[in-house]
Structures are given as C-alpha cells and as structure tokens.
Amino acid sequence: NHPHIVRVYGVDVDRGIHYIAMELVRGSTLKELIQKWGRIPVSDAVQWGMDICDALRYAHEKRIIHRDIKPENILVDRNGVAKITDFGIAKVLDGVSVTKMDGDVLGSVQYIAPEQARGEDTDEKTDIYSLGATLYEMLTGQVPFTGDTSVAIAMKHIRSVVVPPINLEPAVPYSLSSVVVKALAKNPANRYASMR
C-alpha cells in the first residue's frame, strides 16, 4: 500500500479463471510517453524517477524485489503521478520467487541487470540497475544497449560500458547523467547502496 504502487484489492477465482482486482490507473505507460515525446523532459524524468525510487524503497523495506522495472511497468496517471505495476516476477528476499521458471532468466532484456542476465542471485541493487536503464531511456529516448538478439543485448549489459546520457542528450545535467551511470554499474557493489 503505497501512493506510487498500483493497489491490489484482491485475488479470486471465477469459474476456474484466476484473477487479480487492481486499481484502475487512467493515463499512459511511461513507454507510451517516451514513444510519443521522443524523450521525457528532465523535470518530469526527475520527478517520476523520485516517485519510482520512493515506491521501490518501500517495497525493499518490505523485503520485496520487483526484478522487472521498465517503462512498460510504470504508469503515469492524468495528474502526472508515476506508479509501479506488475510485480509478477517479484522475489521476496531470503525467499523464493513469486514466479520462477527453473533455468530461465526472468526480466526484460533491455533493462536487465548483469547479475540477473547471468542467472545469479538478485537483490535491491538489481532494481537500482533496471531503474537506471529506465531513467536512461527517459532522458535519451533510447535504451542503454541494443542488439540483433536478446542474447546479444544481455551480453552488452554484462560486458559493455554505457555511453553517458549527457553524450547523447546535452540538455541532461551532468549530475543527473552521473546518477544514471552509477546506477548502471556492472558490479552491484559500485551502484548506490539503496533506493534512498
């Protein structure tokens, strides 16, 4: 229960069909806004980034890791409030995945943290990386890495150095570009310690 997380009202079964009753958020996905505008204005990117950080900080304090932060899983309502949705592959720390397929890497390859791409343990810093990739796309209009296949993109997340957002979009302040680059550090120890 957090103002920047889409509310779940309940789960049930109707004639053998399982469903989740959730808050209706009237607005757009962040991905739709990026596609419409080309990139998100810096002031909006900062505000929505802070909203997402606050929501993830709250989830992490509850020992829940989202593991699939991406623009498609962030809704922006008509009042300009960002909300995270789709905790479908979330993981409870010191527990098991909410959804897990043995041997498969879960998450969206354009935003996947290197440790997640390698199938290693995930934690709060995994969400920090994915938020960094999301901020990168918000500020530049493009994802940090591209490739011909999902495997090629995942390998770039593991091995390639990201081009700082300021190099692609000079209007991005140097300090904000540095925040994004730090969030996208290959080694989790080099990322921010927490969403705070």
Buried b (16+ CB within 10 A) or exposed e, 1-30: ebebbbeeeeeeeeeeeeeeeeeebebbbb
111, 69 contact by CB (below 8 A): yes
Q: State the first-to-last Cα distance of the chain, in angstroms, to the nearest integer.
A: 18
186, 162 contact by CB (below 8 A): no
CA–CA–CA angle 90, 137, 39 (5° rounding): 135
22, 69 contact by CB (below 8 A): no
Compute the distance between CA of residue 137 and CA of residue 35 in angstroms, rounded to an integer: 10
Q: 118-122 — which CB contacts under 8 Å span 24+ positions?
A: 118/158, 122/65, 122/67, 122/91
Catalytic residues, by residue number, are 68
